[in-house]
């Protein structure tokens, strides 16, 4: 394609813009922007992040429709940018580095996908823009402005994740708003340029373009609302439905009247039940049944362990998104609110409530059913109840609600209570559960048609007491028993409640584990509850990431990487955890996730922390000393694992740059800090547990009293000084305070560890206060030191040397002048 003189002149402006954007990046990032890349490279990087499957799917759904338009976009700008700006791949190179940098930050990945959609929304409508680009300066300028928006966005993301580590504590929303406003303006200019260039020459083409714009705009609104993956939730919970299990509930007079009667005084059924009674399955079944009857249904499944599914805001966004799909004329009412928001995600509860109120006032449907599952798992269930009650107060009420919750849900609002009809799951489930157990007995060749089979049905139905989960897990245990005699023994000692049931199943399972599998299972159950050791400000996702799983498995496998970790996870995860694995063919890597099978399993795991060792299965015994055992893994990571060595190398060489192992650093660092902050210790009566505790405590004591910890110390100093974070000194002060409380503890190894902590943290805080940030948070007694002792301490001198080496990373208002360093 030849370049005419006008294009050559215009390219100088583009080249200046490109160089201006890139000049603010470091050499590494500039090189990455210029590196050759392709759409497949970008997709591979995205897939390789191994996010949770549901979240990964959302990003891929956002990205895939943009690929072909971006290819055409690139072919148009390639003539000017590639030749004059020296960027080998003007679209894919910047996009690849941005995806790489923000791989562990879901919100920014969504921003990337959405910003690209906005950029191409105008370009995609112009079927002749490639041809006109070569001939028409107006179109060149319009496309050029959008390309500069794209580059500006990529550079902002890169600076955000490279200039410091504030990406772990800060938000990208401000930058996104500026880019969003710019794109909206330049998209309008592109529309004007297209019309001026006579692309849409006939009325038919004008109408077609208008329809395409409408589709794009509605897609943008849906992405702005970012609804939860309720379809995935619905299918998952429906897969647990057993034929006939919800028939009694559905046939009840209360439910039938609720569905079909007019003029309800109480438009809200609250279905309550004990954990494991089948509430979520019932909710999914009701949604499916209502839809099969041709009725309009909205639904949301709350989940306390998922930050996207426990918030009221996420719930209302999802309900609004579903309403818009049901009645598309409502998009026109929401569009002005969307445009004035200027946010990547609708994160204002007031805005979403306003949009939802407007849509509800203009509904055409006579009746819409709204199903909320696990209301008690909402972060603010009372707010949801108030919103439901407010709909009941409206004249011509069109919404009818069915909610499920545990019996612990309480009502603070009289209005919320007054609008509810209460039902108990157990009142409908006993007969269904007995039928289910009977069907399982019939399929068991050992006891089918026998007196023992009838005893199994009666005994387990009685023990289940309306709890579907108990019945299912107990029948799984029965099916594993090899003889009638073993089944009879089991019936004599049926577990009481989920605690005994889970304990029995785990003990049965772990008998078949070899020593390596047992260690893998112990590590998995030590680290699975991320909220137990990582602050939300560091990692709010709430799940154990794939690369961290592989790292702890490597530790359990004597430092050697585990082959096929997905298979090993599946082998050692039950019965508390479930493992889901999907093969990504494009990169040949498995994407897998591990989660609790039920919230009762998560509760049981947490309660095991306080049980005597003798009452715990071998898999869960390390949970009593979980902070120590996680710290032991962290010590291995910071001393013997190659990954931490590479991390430190990257931190030293990359001036402000992001490194792939950053999140693993935080998980391991807080594994250490949680042990250093211990101010209590469980009573140990088991001799073996005492020996293991003594070994781990000695290892920890050696780590913080010798230069062995300096790799961790230097990594921490680089990250916190460069990011200007005071968290390092905060953690050290908190550890010092905790250790002082227990230096005379009756368990001698813990007392010795506590004394070592006091000394280590005193020196550490003193040095950090002198060379870093956060001096104001340090007690006065930590700002003075015994000079002779300090000078003779090799570890203290090593830390001091590292702090002096890197204190230039801290801003000029350091506190060095306030403390005299020996």
Residue-wise pLDDT tens digits, 705-724? 999 999 999 999 998 888 88
Residue 645 to residue 632: CA distance in whole angstroms: 17
What single-letter DSSP state applies at residue 520?
H
Which range (65-79, 279-293, 427-441) has the least confidence? 65-79
- So what's the pLDDT on residue 201? 47
More confident residue, 275 or 202: 275
* CB of 721 closer than 8 Å to CB of 772: yes
In this predicted model, what pLDDT tens digit does every residue of 24-58 receive, in sequence order? 666 666 666 666 666 666 666 555 544 444 455 55
User: Measuring CA to CA, which residue among 379, 313, 384 is closest to residue 346?
Assistant: 313
Instruction: Report pLDDT for 817.
Output: 41
Burial class for 459, CB neighbours closer than 10 Å (0-12, 13-18, 19+): middle
**Burial annotation 780-807 (CB, 10 A radius, 16+ → b, else e):** eebeebeeeebeebebbbbbbebbeebb
The residue whose two tokens read 């869960």 is 620
Residue 52 tokens, joined: 């949770």
CA distance 314 to 225: 9
| Dist CA 464 CA 497 (whole Å) | 8
What phi and psi, each to the nearest 5 degrees, are found at residue 731? -65, -40
Q: Where are the beta strands (DSSP E) in 407-557?
A: 420-424
For residue 227, give the nearest of 169, 285, 311 by alpha carbon.
311
CA–CA separation, 632 and 613 (whole Å): 19
Count of structural domains, the chain: 4
pLDDT score recorded for residue 82:
46
Query: Can you list the alpha helix ranges (DSSP code H) found in 514-564?
Result: 515-527, 546-556
Would the pLDDT of 670 be above 70? yes
Does residue 441 have a pLDDT over 90?
Answer: yes
Helices (H) and strands (E) in the chain — how many of each? 37, 7
pLDDT value, residue 733: 96
Question: What's the CA gap between 151 and 353, in Å, rounded?
Answer: 35
The alpha carbon dihedral of 741, 743, 746, 750 has a sign of positive
β partners of residue 504: none
Together in a domain, 380 and 331? yes
CA–CA distance, 763 with 319 (Å, rounded to integer): 54
pLDDT at 200: 47
Question: What pLDDT, on a 0 to 100 scale, did the predictor assign at position 521?
Answer: 95
Q: For residue 486, what are its two tokens?
A: 């073993």
Q: Where are the alpha helices (DSSP H) in 597-747?
A: 599-607, 626-639, 642-653, 662-676, 687-703, 710-723, 727-741
Instruction: Determine contact, residues 620/576, Cβ cutoff 8 Å.
Output: no
Considering the domain architecture, whether residues 440 and 293 belong to the same structural domain is answered as no
- Phi and psi at 587, nearest 5°, equal -125, 0
- 816 confidence band (pLDDT: 50, 70, 90): very low
Is 254 contained in some domain? yes
Q: What is the DSSP letter of 535?
A: -
What are the helix (H) ranges across 640-680?
642-653, 662-676
Cβ pair 26, 655 in contact under 8 A: yes
Decide which of 406, 423, 440 is a domain's last residue.
423
Give the chain's mean pLDDT: 80
For residues 149 and 279, state if they share a domain.
no
Burial class (CB in 10 A: 0-12, 13-18, 19+), 98: buried
Residue 92 lies in a domain: yes
Q: In this structure, are 63 and 121 located in the same domain?
A: yes
**pTM for this prediction:** 0.75
Report yes or no: 762 and 782 within 8 Å, Cβ to Cβ: yes
Tokens 């990692």 belong to 539
How many residues are present in the chain? 822
- The C-alpha angle with vertex 811 and arms to 808 and 812, in degrees rounded to 5, equals 85
HSE-up of 412 (CA within 13 Å, CB side)?
7
Domain stop point among 494, 529, 546? 494
**Domain around 478:** 428-494
Output the six-digit token pair for 159. 């600076």
Question: Does any domain span residue 649?
Answer: no
For residues 736 and 728, what is the distance between their CA atoms, to the nearest angstrom? 12
Max mean pLDDT range (79-88, 159-168, 468-477, 689-698) = 689-698
Residue 284 backbone zone (phi > 0: left; psi -120 to 50: alpha; other: beta): alpha
Q: Which distant-in-sequence residues (6+ apart) come within 8 Å of 777 by Cβ? A: 726, 729, 730, 733
Give the domain CATH number at 351.
3.40.50.300
Q: What is the pLDDT of residue 2?
A: 35
The reply to whether 146 and 239 lie within a common domain is no
Q: Which of 67-76, 231-240, 600-609, 648-657 has the lowest mean pLDDT?
A: 67-76
- Those residues whose C-beta lies under 8 Å from the C-beta of residue 556, and which sit 6 or more positions away, are 516, 519, 520, 522, 523
Q: Which residues contact 264 (CB under 8 A, 6 or more apart)?
A: 257, 258, 397, 400
* Lookup: tokens for 425: 């799951």
Identify whether the C-beta of residue 223 lies closer than 8 Å to the C-beta of residue 404: no
Average pLDDT over residues 508-516: 92
Q: 190: closest CA among 160, 213, 224, 172?
A: 213
Nearest to 419 by CA among 431, 404, 436, 401: 401
pLDDT of residue 544: 80
Q: Are 438 and 303 in contact (CB under 8 A)?
A: no
Cα–Cα distance, 243 to 283 (Å, whole number): 15
Across 191-202, b (16+ Cβ under 10 Å) vs e yields bebbeebebbee
- Tell me: do 349 and 240 sit in the same domain: yes
User: What's the 3-state SS for 86-127?
Assistant: CCCCCCHHHHHHHHHHCCCCHHHHHHHHHHHHHHHHHHCCCC
What's residue 126's pLDDT? 47
Does the pLDDT of residue 751 top 90, yes or no? yes
Give dist(CA 631, CA 642) in Å, integer. 17
Instruction: Return the percentage of the chain with pLDDT > 70, whole number.
Output: 71
Q: Is residue 797 part of a domain?
A: yes
Higher-pLDDT residue of 658 and 348 is 348
**Domain assignment of residue 452, yes or no:** yes
DSSP state of 198: T
Q: Are residues 18 and 103 in the same domain?
A: yes
Cα–Cα dist 107/617, whole Å: 39
Give the domain-ending residue among 443, 460, 494.
494
For the chain, give the longest Cα–Cα distance: 95
CA distance 617 to 525: 12
Q: Each residue of 276-320: pLDDT tens digit?
A: 888 999 999 999 999 999 999 999 999 887 777 888 999 999 999
Q: Residues 348, 476: one domain?
A: no
Does residue 308 contact residue 314 with C-beta atoms inside 8 Å? yes
Residue 739 is assigned to a structural domain of this protein: yes
Q: Flag whether 503 is in a domain.
A: no
Pairing type for strands 577-584 and 589-596 reads antiparallel
Find out whether 163 and 126 touch, Cβ atoms under 8 Å: no
Residue 818 binned pLDDT confidence (cut-offs 50, 70, 90): very low
Is the Cβ–Cβ distance between 412 and 382 less than 8 Å? yes
How many other C-beta atoms are found inside a 10 Å radius of the C-beta of residue 62?
19
In contact, 287 and 322? CB cutoff 8 Å = no
**371 shares its domain with 457:** no
Three-state DSSP class for residue 814? coil
Residue 734 in this model has a pLDDT that exceeds 90: yes
Cα–Cα–Cα angle for 113, 116, 120, nearest 5°?
Answer: 140
Q: What does the pLDDT read at residue 217?
A: 84
Query: Do 187 and 111 have their domain in common?
Result: yes
Tokens at 13, concatenated: 């402006």
At 110 the pLDDT is: 62
Of 189-203, 335-349, 488-502, least confident by mean pLDDT is 189-203
138 and 239 inside one domain? no
DSSP 610: G
- Return the SS3 of 684: coil
Q: Would 633 be classed as within a structural domain?
A: no
Task: Among 109-123, 262-276, 461-475, name the most confident range.
Answer: 461-475
pLDDT band at 19 (very low <50, low <70, confident <90, very high): low
Helix, strand, or coil (residue 159): helix
What are the tens digits of pLDDT across the range 528-579?
988 888 886 665 555 788 888 999 999 999 999 998 888 898 889 888 898 8
Q: What is the mean pLDDT of residues 676-701?
A: 94
pLDDT of residue 281: 92
418 and 453 fall within a common domain = no
User: Which of these, 499, 522, 493, 501, lies nearest to 510 by C-alpha position?
Assistant: 522
């Amino acid at each position: 394609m030849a370049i005419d003189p006008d294009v050559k002149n215009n390219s100088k402006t583009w080249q200046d813009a490109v160089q201006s954007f890139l000049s603010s990046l470091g050499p590494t990032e500039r090189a990455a922007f210029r590196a050759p890349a392709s759409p497949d490279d970008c997709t591979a990087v995205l897939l390789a992040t191994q996010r949770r499957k549901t979240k990964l799917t959302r990003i891929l759904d956002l990205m895939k429709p943009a690929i072909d338009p971006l290819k055409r976009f690139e072919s148009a700008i390639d003539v000017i940018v590639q030749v004059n700006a020296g960027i080998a791949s003007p679209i894919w190179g910047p996009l690849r580095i941005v995806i790489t940098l923000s791989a562990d930050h879901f919100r920014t990945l969504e921003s990337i996908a959405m910003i690209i959609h906005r950029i191409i929304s105008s370009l995609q409508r112009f079927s002749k823009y490639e041809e006109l680009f070569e001939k028409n300066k107006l179109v060149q300028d319009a496309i050029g402005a959008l390309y500069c928006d794209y580059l500006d966005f990529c550079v902002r993301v890169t600076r955000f994740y490279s200039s410091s580590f504030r990406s772990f504590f800060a938000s990208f929303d401000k930058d996104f708003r500026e880019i969003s406003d710019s794109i909206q303006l330049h998209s309008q200019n592109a529309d004007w340029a297209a019309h001026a260039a006579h692309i849409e020459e006939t009325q038919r083409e004008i109408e077609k373009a208008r329809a395409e714009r409408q589709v794009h705009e509605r897609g943008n609104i849906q992405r702005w609302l970012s609804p939860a993956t309720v379809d995935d939730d619905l299918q998952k919970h429906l897969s647990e439905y057993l034929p006939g299990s919800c028939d009694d509930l559905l046939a009840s007079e209360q439910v039938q009247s609720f569905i079909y009667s007019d003029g309800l005084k109480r438009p809200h059924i609250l279905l309550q039940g004990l954990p494991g009674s089948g509430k979520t399955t019932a909710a999914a079944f009701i949604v499916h049944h209502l839809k099969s009857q041709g009725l309009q249904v909205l639904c949301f499944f709350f989940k306390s362990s998922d930050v996207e599914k426990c918030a009221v805001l996420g719930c209302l966004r999802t309900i609004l998104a579903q309403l818009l799909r049901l009645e598309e004329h409502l998009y026109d009412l929401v569009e002005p609110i969307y445009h004035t928001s200027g946010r990547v995600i609708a994160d204002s509860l007031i805005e979403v409530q306003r949009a939802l109120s407007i849509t509800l006032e203009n509904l055409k449907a006579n009746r819409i059913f709204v199903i909320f599952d696990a209301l008690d798992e909402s972060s603010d269930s009372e707010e949801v109840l108030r919103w439901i009650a407010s709909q009941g107060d409206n004249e011509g009420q069109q919404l009818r609600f069915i909610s499920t919750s545990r019996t612990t849900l309480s009502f603070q609002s009289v209005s919320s209570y007054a609008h509810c009809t209460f039902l108990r799951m157990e009142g409908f489930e006993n007969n269904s559960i007995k039928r289910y157990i009977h069907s399982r007995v019939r399929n068991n060749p050992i006891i089918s048609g026998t007196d023992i089979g009838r005893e199994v049905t009666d005994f387990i139905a009685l023990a289940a007491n309306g709890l579907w989960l108990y019945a299912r897990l107990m029948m799984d245990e029965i099916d594993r028993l090899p003889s009638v005699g073993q089944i009879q023994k089991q019936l004599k000692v049926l577990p009481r409640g989920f605690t005994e049931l889970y304990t029995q199943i785990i003990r049965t399972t772990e008998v078949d584990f070899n020593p390596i599998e047992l260690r893998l299972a112990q590590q998995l159950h030590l680290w699975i509850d991320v909220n137990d050791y990582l602050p939300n400000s560091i990692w709010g996702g709430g799940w154990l990431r794939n690369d961290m799983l592989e790292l702890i498995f490597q530790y359990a496998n004597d430092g050697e990487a585990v082959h096929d970790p997905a298979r090993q996870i599946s082998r050692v995860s039950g019965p508390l955890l479930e493992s889901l694995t999907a093969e990504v063919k494009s990169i040949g890597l498995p994407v897998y996730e591990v989660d609790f099978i039920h919230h009762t399993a998560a509760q049981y795991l947490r309660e095991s922390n306080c049980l005597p060792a003798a009452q715990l299965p071998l898999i869960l015994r390390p949970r009593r000393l979980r902070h120590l055992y996680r710290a032991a893994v962290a010590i291995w990571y910071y001393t013997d694992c190659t990954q931490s060595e590479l991390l430190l190398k990257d931190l030293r060489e990359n001036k402000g740059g992001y490194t792939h192992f950053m999140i693993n650093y935080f998980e391991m660092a807080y594994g250490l800090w949680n042990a250093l902050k211990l101010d209590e210790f469980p009573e140990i009566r088991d001799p073996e547990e005492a020996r293991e505790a003594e070994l781990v405590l000695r290892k920890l004591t050696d780590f913080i009293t010798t230069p062995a910890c300096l790799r961790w110390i230097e990594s921490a100093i680089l990250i916190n000084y460069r990011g200007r974070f005071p968290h390092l000194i905060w953690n050290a002060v908190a550890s010092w305070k905790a250790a002082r409380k227990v230096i005379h503890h009756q368990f001698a190894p813990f007392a010795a560890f506590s004394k070592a902590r006091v000394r280590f943290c005193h020196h550490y805080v003193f040095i950090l206060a002198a060379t870093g940030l956060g001096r104001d948070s340090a007690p006065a007694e930590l700002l003075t030191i015994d000079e002779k002792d300090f000078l003779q301490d090799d570890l203290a001198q090593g830390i001091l040397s590292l702090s002096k080496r890197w204190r230039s990373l801290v801003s000029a208002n350091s506190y060095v002048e306030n403390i005299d360093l020996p």
